[in-house]
Structure 1
Amino acid sequence: SRTDTETIVHLFEERGIECLRALRGMFALAIWDGRARELWLARDRLGKKPLYYFSDRSRLVFGSEIKCLLAYPGVPRALNASALPLYLTYGYVPAPDTLFEGIRMLHPGCRLRVANGGVEEREYWSPPILPVGATLASPPTEPEAISALLDHLREAVRLRLISDVPLGAFLSGGLDSSAIVALMAEAASGPVKTFAIGFSSEPSFDETAHARAVAQHLGTEHHEFIVQPDAVDLVPKLAWHFDQPFGDSSAIPTYLVSKLAREHVTVALTGDGSDELFAGYDRFRAARLAQRYQRVPQPLHRALAALARRWPQSTGYADIGRRALR
């Protein structure tokens, strides 16, 4: 056949579990080695694909969703109270914990070996990180770094355009998604299908005008959806899909644009991850401001805090009053 699953099986036959180092992209897999009587579970380097498991003295149950583990007889449905502080701190529960007692999530870049009644987890990849204060022996110039980054982005996008199903992209008109769509348009043989979503109730969250301008510039086959979502009604559905609480309001527009785009494509590229890599979130700038704020004399702290509390606030995304209070 021509399936990616069969490719992994043959690669495992040739290289064993070291085959993980040759895989690129997102995956969560399980391989039973009948000759060695070993079960291997593995997750992609950055953990884009989830993989959960429950183990006790007599069994190991695993799957890509917590709900499928809970459907198995004997897997407890109990709250893991020790994970609550993690959720309240980060807005989600990082691996290996979950909010369910006894159910664990495999770490990104790790593989799990089950053999002879034992379970062993090991890391097969970790991001290269320079020690604090260290520098590269031969650091690239800024033009060299930009050129190398563009080469990597071009290659990554080109590889993800290889698909046997309809493919498109989510386009907000921001820097991240616009860059991805521009590289898709450069590599694709025809117009790229792009999708944007807007909200009629809150103009500050509506990015369709920016997305439309980018789409026109790149000549994409553009689709816009204007919705009036009832966020309260969506919460149970999102909780069912996520399996755990997820404290990020972006889940709502992401779900809606995914649902609407599914009418046209099966796979969509996005600009997700860029803000984490390149410090694009406002919170990073806020952290710098907070450092400078610490230099302000204490008496002024109270005056500024009182002013922030009295400043009028709106529900807009860029509202100065809400941001100052935070």
Structure 2
Amino acid sequence: MCGIAGFCDFKKNTGTDVLQHMTDALTHRGPNDAGYKVFEASNAAVGLGQRRLSILDLSSNGHQPMIYEHLSMVFNGEVYNFKEIRLELEQKGYTFNSWSDTEVILKGYHCWGDNVVHKLIGMFVYVIFDSKRQELTICRDRAGVKPLYYFWNGNVLLFGSELKAFHQHPAFTKEIDINSLSLFLQYSYIPAPYTIYKKTCKLNPGHYFKLSLTNRFFSETKYWDVTDYYNKPRLQINEADAMAEVERLMISAYEYRMVADVPVGVFLSGGYDSSSVAAILQHNRTERLKTFTIGFEEAGFNEADEAKKIAAYLGTDHHEWYIKASDAADVFHDLPEIYDEPFADNSVVPTALVSKLARQHVKVSLSADGGDEIFAGYNKFNQSIRYTSGMPSFMQGALSNIMYYINPDHIPYFNKKYNFATRYKKMQKIWADKTPLSAMKYISQYITEDEARGFIRPEHECYKTHFDNGSRLSGNLDSLNKMLAIDYKTFLVDNNLVKVDRATMHVGLEGREPMLDHRLIEFVAQLPACMKIQQHTNKYLLKKIVHKYIPKEMMDRPKMPFIAPLKVWFKDELKEKVQYYLGEAKLKETGMFQVESVKKLTEEYLAGKQVNYQKVWNLLVFQLWYERWNKTQAA
């Protein structure tokens, strides 16, 4: 695990000093070692830099950039089945100088070329410079667990694990993309391939791109897409056989994530996903797993007691930390440094703090992201189907037309209800489109597209995202599985995985995602909807598996999201920060927002009106981010 950065400069103006600054901006991702090398090609200078967090082969043999013949490589991530691939390569005559997965990928690429990616089980981004072919290849893992940003202006390509590396290069331009800002306000994250900056993109998961140094030809290739597995016919399999295969795949995936030469722990929230990881790994193990939980003193947010009971039942070595608003305030100003692109998930604070807790005891911690997206855990799936199937289509259309002409603020009684105007506008759009996929899109928005236009100063267009790609799914696919496919490519990758990657790597902790083993999703994607939601029970199949390890009565309780009590904190301990950063002076300094619209929202919220606190949080996070990363340019 590490951070990587580099460039391809066709004007040959970039040297080792800039490469070192770019790479060292990611020191938090790799505090154990650093490597930098600039290659002089005929048409360009190519720089490869890496900061290393030593997890496999702790010796200097794992140093990067790693070179083999005409291939040079930097790598971020872990390939868990590297020993099996290494054995296959040894049988072909390859020899090895280390026990690192980096050397296995490099020599695997030498042997199989781009097809090596199909052999890899893990999370990864690798960059390979081929001096013979005069070509740069960058590849991202299937689910997108590991991040990769790139900037391209026609003369200079920059790439890196985080945007902060780009700020060290003189060619990088920090021009905010208003359309991406709109997406951020709507969803609290920016969906791939977009970023907050123009000319800067995220490499899509399951893709690799190549840049030819001879003609500057840039091509992007998809090698894996979860949609392909959802589009396959449903498996003709009974429940018992499906359950057995899912459990087998989970055991294999979870055990692979224990491969390390350093201590490994598990984040344990007490829900089904993380409990499945802890239970399966602790089962038949004599050594006690280390598990980690964050708790809150505020009622309605705390799940630590349940996690503690499960840890005691499983016999893990459990650690917990009850955080207060003062703990949140301590991490508050670190958020733009941790998340160097606007990112406002409502659990960033507890995620940062549980990572800090875990790092005191281990160097690797397993998370359980993906369970809700794979096994249908979110209530939004149920809502989307219910809202679009509860009445005939013609009635939905008629209601939508009527609602369009009625101002929700003028509806007595209801206009005093929580977030009513936004919910009203969402339902108007849901009934206009009449499909569960569209319903999920609107439910996923904290601020509608129309509301975003009211907050943002310049006019902007609406970028298309994977939420709008339902036509790529088979017409024979049921609504639930369609939503799961889209959710896997949106909320999972650009919200949940970003959240965990940045929080863990900020403290030099490797976060692993065992539920995102591609073999598991490839199988579960082909299962019928009734094995995911059955008789109003979400995660039906996963729950049956977990109940084999943990008694049902310990697990069965209402689902509680892992979020911070921001709604409480904002009105008390953090109130002054809201007033300062969303005040008129700071808003004018940023210059991105309609000042009066934001002031009105903030004043209503602080006055106790029924405003969705996430709207305030999104705006506040952007202001904090802007002050850290763009204020100097604006000045």
Work out whether the TM-score is over 0.5. yes
Aligned to 1:219: 315
Write the deviation string for residues 53-108 of structure 1: whole angstroms up to 9, x where unpaired.
11122221111010101211110011011212322232211111100111111000
- Residue pairs, 1:286-297, within 5 angstroms: 286-291=383-388
Aligned to 1:113: 210
**Which one of the candidate residues 218, 221, 237 is aligned to 1:140?**
237
Aligned AA for 2:319?
A: H
Compared CA separation, residues 305 and 175, structure 1 to 2 (3 A):
farther
Aligned AA for 2:413?
A: A
1:5 counterpart = 2:102: yes
Following the alignment from structure 1 to structure 2, what is the Cα–Cα distance between the partners of residues 252 and 160?
A: 25
Could you say what secondary structure the match of 2:137 adopts? strand
Following the alignment from structure 2 to structure 1, what is the Cα–Cα distance between the partners of residues 306 and 358?
A: 18
Q: CA deviation at 1:289?
A: 4.2
Aligned AA for 1:216?
A: A
1:125 counterpart = 2:224: yes
Contact 1:194 / 1:221 at 8 angstroms: preserved in 2? yes
1:196 counterpart = 2:293: yes
Aligned to 1:306: 413
Aligned AA for 2:242?
A: A
Could you say what secondary structure the match of 1:205 adopts? coil
1:249 counterpart = 2:346: yes
Aligned to 2:86: none
Aligned AA for 1:120?
A: S
Following the alignment from structure 1 to structure 2, what is the Cα–Cα distance between the partners of residues 220 and 278?
A: 25
Contact 1:111 / 1:121 at 8 angstroms: preserved in 2? yes
1:236 counterpart = 2:343: no
**Which one of the candidate residues 30, 33, 55 is aligned to 2:127?**
30
- Residue pairs, 1:76-95, within 5 angstroms: 76-95=173-192
Aligned to 1:66: 163
Could you say what secondary structure the match of 2:236 adopts? coil
Write the deviation string for residues 194-250 of structure 1: whole angstroms up to 9, x where unpaired.
0011012x1221111111111111110000111113445534312221211112111
Following the alignment from structure 2 to structure 1, what is the Cα–Cα distance between the partners of residues 387 and 412?
A: 13
Compared CA separation, residues 271 and 206, structure 1 to 2 (3 A):
same
Greater RCO, CA 8 A, separation 6+: 2
Could you say what secondary structure the match of 1:172 adopts? coil
Following the alignment from structure 1 to structure 2, what is the Cα–Cα distance between the partners of residues 65 and 252?
A: 19
Aligned to 2:603: none
Following the alignment from structure 1 to structure 2, what is the Cα–Cα distance between the partners of residues 121 and 188?
A: 44
Q: CA deviation at 1:287?
A: 2.5
Following the alignment from structure 1 to structure 2, what is the Cα–Cα distance between the partners of residues 236 and 78?
A: 23
Compared CA separation, residues 195 and 108, structure 1 to 2 (3 A):
same
Write the deviation string for residues 160-211 of structure 1: whole angstroms up to 9, x where unpaired.
11111110000011111001101111264511100011012x1221111111
Q: Which moved more, 1:98-107 or 1:51-60?
A: 51-60
Aligned to 1:173: 270
Compared CA separation, residues 89 and 27, structure 1 to 2 (3 A):
same
Write the deviation string for residues 112-147 of structure 1: whole angstroms up to 9, x where unpaired.
10112121111111113344xx743x5111111111
Could you say what secondary structure the match of 1:203 adopts? coil
Aligned to 2:304: 208
Compared CA separation, residues 73 and 322, structure 1 to 2 (3 A):
closer
Compared CA separation, residues 239 and 188, structure 1 to 2 (3 A):
farther
Following the alignment from structure 1 to structure 2, what is the Cα–Cα distance between the partners of residues 57 and 170?
A: 43
Compared CA separation, residues 266 and 82, structure 1 to 2 (3 A):
same
1:20 counterpart = 2:129: no
**Which one of the candidate residues 281, 286, 289 is aligned to 1:184?**
281
Aligned AA for 2:302?
A: D
Compared CA separation, residues 308 and 178, structure 1 to 2 (3 A):
farther
Aligned to 2:71: none
Following the alignment from structure 1 to structure 2, what is the Cα–Cα distance between the partners of residues 106 and 177?
A: 28
Following the alignment from structure 2 to structure 1, what is the Cα–Cα distance between the partners of residues 350 and 100?
A: 32
Of structures 1 and 2, the larger Rg is shown by 2
Following the alignment from structure 1 to structure 2, what is the Cα–Cα distance between the partners of residues 120 and 210?
A: 49
Write the deviation string for residues 280-323 of structure 1: whole angstroms up to 9, x where unpaired.
12322333443366679979xx9x99358458xx959xxxx999
Aligned to 1:282: 379
Q: CA deviation at 1:276?
A: 1.2
* CA RMSD of superposed structures (Å): 2.9
Between Structure 1 and Structure 2, how many residues are aligned? 314
Following the alignment from structure 2 to structure 1, what is the Cα–Cα distance between the partners of residues 284 and 166?
A: 41
Unaligned 5+ residue runs, structure 2?
Answer: 1-97, 403-407, 419-564, 569-609, 613-635
Aligned AA for 1:171?
A: L
Aligned AA for 2:309?
A: A
Contact 1:275 / 1:281 at 8 angstroms: preserved in 2? yes
Please give the TM-score of this superposition, normalised by the length of structure 2.
0.46
Please give the TM-score of this superposition, normalised by the length of structure 1.
0.87
Aligned AA for 2:312?
A: Q
Following the alignment from structure 1 to structure 2, what is the Cα–Cα distance between the partners of residues 310 and 63?
A: 45
Following the alignment from structure 2 to structure 1, what is the Cα–Cα distance between the partners of residues 331 and 384?
A: 32
Greater per-residue helix proportion: 2
